[in-house]
Amino acid sequence: MTFCYRLLILCSIVTSTLGLVYTSPQSALAQTSVTGCPTPALERFQRHKVAPRETVESIAQRYNLTPATIIAMNPSLQNGKVVVGREIQIPPYNGIVVEVPSGQTWRQIAAKYKIRPDVLFDVNGCQKNPRVVFVPEVKRSPNRPITEAPTPTPSLSKLTGYPLAEVATVALPYGWQTNPTNGQVFFHSGMDLLAAKGTPVQAIGEGTVVFASEQGTYGNLVIINHSGGLQSRYAHLDSIKVSVGQQVKKGDTVGSVGTTGTPTINQPHLHFEVRSSSSLGWTAQDPKGYLQR
């Protein structure tokens, strides 16, 4: 894919080189893998063929975007007028396309645009070192919130539990933390619970296993989808005891504590996450509100 980008309020993309097929607005938001890593936003642009009587405003409304986003992604629309029969590019949500400058990382882009790094990471398909990234709009648009989904209030009747048999020491909590290894500040999308290697890990609630395998820095990872648009993740496991598609109940063993992947701390621990479904995919929430013995 060849992109032309300009660091303005919004960046433009060369529409003729994307080679994307048309999909409906609804399906564009559904292209998320069970691992929680969506198809990169830059690969989810759609083509829209302008129909009679359509305007930039009506097209933007159809795709739940702002007119400014539509115009910025299509240089031919700088005059604000559309041409019947012409195909224009539609991004998956409001935002800008940014080239990661030489010598910088996408984490620095996240800091510059004041977006949570885990959100930027997920939106761009969990790529380790992308050179061009899609940055979701950091301000609320008239149509919908973009950067972060509202944090849901945990429903005690729907999802509460504890992933270990005994209450464990929290080695690293959720949120902005200092990496104990290199001193860098980073956003920790879960909670690290200290436990001996081999300690059984259990599901915190009823649900369906949607991922059970090795997944990069997570190491051996189990992901369970629960009702109410919630998801729990169990990472750095030594062993996995469930399979994809399996229905589990609260307290069922899903694996054992280990050190696989790239843990932030050296001691054996469970990296536990709770995520909620949003327009940007699965957005990390503070697990503390869901943990209950």
Please tell me the distance from the alpha carbon of residue 98 to that of residue 42, in angstroms, as a whole number.
11
Nearest to 236, CA basis, from 206, 278, 266: 266
Average the pLDDT over 91-106 and give the result.
Answer: 87
Nearest to 121, CA basis, from 129, 113, 98, 5: 129
Higher pLDDT, 238 or 117: 238
Q: Is residue 279 part of a domain?
A: yes
pLDDT at residue 35 in the model: 46
Domain boundary among 85, 113, 136: 136
Q: Give the DSSP letter of residue 217.
A: G
pLDDT at residue 127 in the model: 83
Q: Count Cβ neighbours within 10 Å for each residue of 198-234 and write b for 16 or more, e otherwise.
A: ebbbbbbbbbebbbbeebeebbbbbbbbbeeebbbbb
Please tell me the distance from the alpha carbon of residue 31 to that of residue 252, in angstroms, as a whole number.
30
pLDDT tens per residue, range 166-214? 999 999 999 878 887 787 777 888 999 999 999 999 999 999 999 999 9
Check whether residue 176 and residue 122 sit in a common domain. no
How far the first Cα of the chain sits from its last, in Å, is 50
Count up the domains in the chain and report the number: 2
Under 8 Å CB-to-CB from 27, ≥6 apart: which residues?
A: none
Contact criterion met (CB below 8 Å) for 96 and 72: yes
Phi and psi (nearest 5°) for 197?
-60, 135
Question: What residue numbers bound the domain in which 109 lies?
Answer: 15-136
CATH of the domain at 59: 3.10.350.10
Q: Is residue 21 part of a domain?
A: yes
Q: Maximum Cα–Cα distance for the chain, whole Å?
A: 66
| Polymer length in residues for the chain | 293
Check whether residue 131 and residue 22 sit in a common domain. yes
Average the pLDDT over 157-170 and give the result.
Answer: 90
Q: What percent of the chain has pLDDT over 70?
A: 80
Residue 106 has pLDDT above 80, yes or no: yes
Q: Is residue 143 part of a domain?
A: no
Please tell me the distance from the alpha carbon of residue 172 to that of residue 188, in angstroms, as a whole number.
8
Local confidence band at 114 (pLDDT 50, 70, 90 cut-offs): confident
CATH of the domain at 274: 2.70.70.10
Q: Is residue 4 part of a domain?
A: no
Average the pLDDT over 205-225 and give the result.
Answer: 93
Write down the residue that tokens 């299509």 correspond to: 74
pLDDT at residue 97 in the model: 87
pLDDT at residue 153 in the model: 42
pLDDT tens per residue, range 10-34? 333 323 323 333 333 333 333 434 4
Please tell me the distance from the alpha carbon of residue 209 to that of residue 36, in angstroms, as a whole number.
13
